[in-house]
Structure 1
Amino acid sequence: MSTLNGLKDTIGRYGIWTSLAPHADDQARLAELAEASAELEELGYGAVWLGGSTAARHAAPLLEATGTLTVGTSIQSIWQYDAEESAAAFAGVEAAHPGRFVLGLGVSHAKLADQYRRPYSALVAYLDALDAAGVPADRRVLAALGPRTLELSRDRAAGAVPYLVTAEHTAQAREILGDAPLLAPELKVVLEADPARARAIARKTLAMYLALPNYTNNFLRLGFTEDDVTGGGSDRLVDAVFAWGDEAGVRNRIEAFHRAGADHVALQVITDAGRDALPRQEWRRLARLLK
């Protein structure tokens, strides 16, 4: 696809992943994040990825508040928004902010979507509908974990935005994708050097994901054991899916994903204040250590 390298160049090496759910339609929350996004752009981040099942309308306020920042959904559930609705919303945002919105799509999880049936086939059909509606393949990315969906990311999208993965998964994903498609894994960051405290903060976030088989099955494919994915997650698992430590340690863990083949890493800062608080001070610290 002709614009793939353009997308890689536009979003750069680092972005910020931030959760909106369950407040996706909270206008005050969106306004707060839009204001923060202007600072993230100034700090040098190339993209903001909106977590939860977000859509183009949630990206619009961030795009309006910034001049060059790319905003993507990470991810929009195919069960929550039908393809025709998604295509119309994409067209509206594209008209207002050409080239700056990326539609990140995923199949979510059986525990979170009552309609969850034959997820791979449903995703293929969704992409077919987007094609028919004129949404360019090179402006959408897929939340791919397993080999088949990674291949779909290569063949039917601009690339993949895997969530809750390791550097080893990133290396495997790059091998499947090849050189051209975008590979932009999400990585959680805890800016805490004390091992016990850092892992305790990490486990508060990790616990909810360990109840979702899509993630635990992926960990098992990567060589982790049942013991690793129970009891809040083993130290081995926490250390693989979180970057924590002093500034040099955090930077090294982030760069490990680039060395494994990531073009861009979507950094989710985790603090003991919880997911609803925007960690703006930590975003500033992270920007400084990445320079």
Structure 2
Amino acid sequence: MNGAVASSVIDAVRNALGPVGACLPVSFTSNPHADLQREAARRLEGAGCRAVWTNEVIGKDALVQLATLLSATGSMAFGTCIANIWARPAQTMHAAAAQLAQAYPGRFVLGLGVGYPEQAASVGQEFGSPLTTMREYVNRMDNPTWPPAPEAPYPRIIAANGPKMLELAGDIADGALPAMLPAAFTAHARQTLGPDKLLVVGVSVEGDPIDPAAVVAQVGEQLTAGADHVTLLLPIGIEFASGIRQLERLAATLAALPGC
């Protein structure tokens, strides 16, 4: 892929994602049965949700998970928030992402995260400088392999909750993915990245039940600050079926936002 993708690819993904999506309630838990995940994705798509995200720790494979969900839905976009760089070699990460992009053009975003020292240790690696580690990993993604990866463009964005990682994302990737930070950081991120990079923001939503009006206000604040897309993060550990029901209810309200 050789670095940043064309602006037309970013524009197409922005359009596919829409202004708001949701992260599946599987963070730091085992994945539910594939049948339940497929059903959940179809229900969210039917409720008007245009984008779904998932995360990855060692022992889970977010790219296999998204291949399952992409094949089960019609036009919904999917992304990783994040794919863990310790889970697979850099060239394998690129090859897998390119295969998804080839099979489902314009429907996939690869979000990368540097993870934690214990994750590096679990695969026999040492966790060094996060900035150096991420830079070297992204650079290795385009090293040649045989057979070569498909020539299928997709956006790479980097999880960036601090100014240095944010600058790195602007330098070597197609955008950034900060999470659970105030709108002021989103405004700073947009200023750092410039107008052309993809800015996806994770927003934590709380409450039982969740207040749709409060979520609309949160999303609107982030979009006004410069986010292209906001992904909703339910509380960690929430029961899967309950989380999907809450996201379905939110989707109907959020569908009224401009651009949805």
Q: TM-score, normalised by structure 2?
A: 0.81
Map of 1:275 onto structure 2: 238
Contact 2:75 2:107 in 1 (8 A): yes
- Shift in Å, 1:32: 1.2
Aligned to 2:44, what secondary structure does the other structure show?
Answer: helix
- Shift in Å, 1:57: 1.1
Map of 2:88 onto structure 1: 81
Q: Structure 2 counterpart of 1:282, which letter? A: Q
Asked if 1:155 is matched to 2:171, the reply is yes
Q: Structure 2 counterpart of 1:61, which letter? A: T
Residues in 1 aligned to 2:38 and 2:115: alpha-carbon distance in whole angstroms? 25
- Structure 1 gap ranges (5+): 194-243
Comparing both chains, which one has the higher relative contact order based on Cα–Cα distances under 8 Å and sequence gaps of 6 or more? 2
User: How many residues of Structure 1 are paired with residues of Structure 2 in the alignment?
Assistant: 236
The structure whose residues are more often helix, as a share, is 1
Contact 1:20 1:52 in 2 (8 A): no
Residues in 2 aligned to 1:52 and 1:166: alpha-carbon distance in whole angstroms? 24
| Per-residue CA distance 1:39-76 (angstroms, 9 max, x = gap) | 21222222111023343112111101111111111111
Map of 1:121 onto structure 2: 132
- Shift in Å, 1:17: 0.9
Map of 2:15 onto structure 1: 9
- Structure 2 gap ranges (5+): 1-5
- Shift in Å, 1:95: 3.2
Aligned to 2:105, what secondary structure does the other structure show?
Answer: coil
Report sequence identity in percent: 34
Contact 2:131 2:168 in 1 (8 A): no
Alignment of structure 1 residues 52-71 onto 2, 5 Å = 52-53=56-57, 54-71=61-78
| Per-residue CA distance 1:125-182 (angstroms, 9 max, x = gap) | 1111112346777521110112222122223222111122221211111111111111
Residues in 1 aligned to 2:127 and 2:56: alpha-carbon distance in whole angstroms? 17
Contact 1:38 1:66 in 2 (8 A): yes
Map of 2:193 onto structure 1: 177
Map of 1:198 onto structure 2: none
Residues in 1 aligned to 2:64 and 2:50: alpha-carbon distance in whole angstroms? 20
RMSD: 2.3
Map of 1:251 onto structure 2: 216
- Shift in Å, 1:255: 1.0
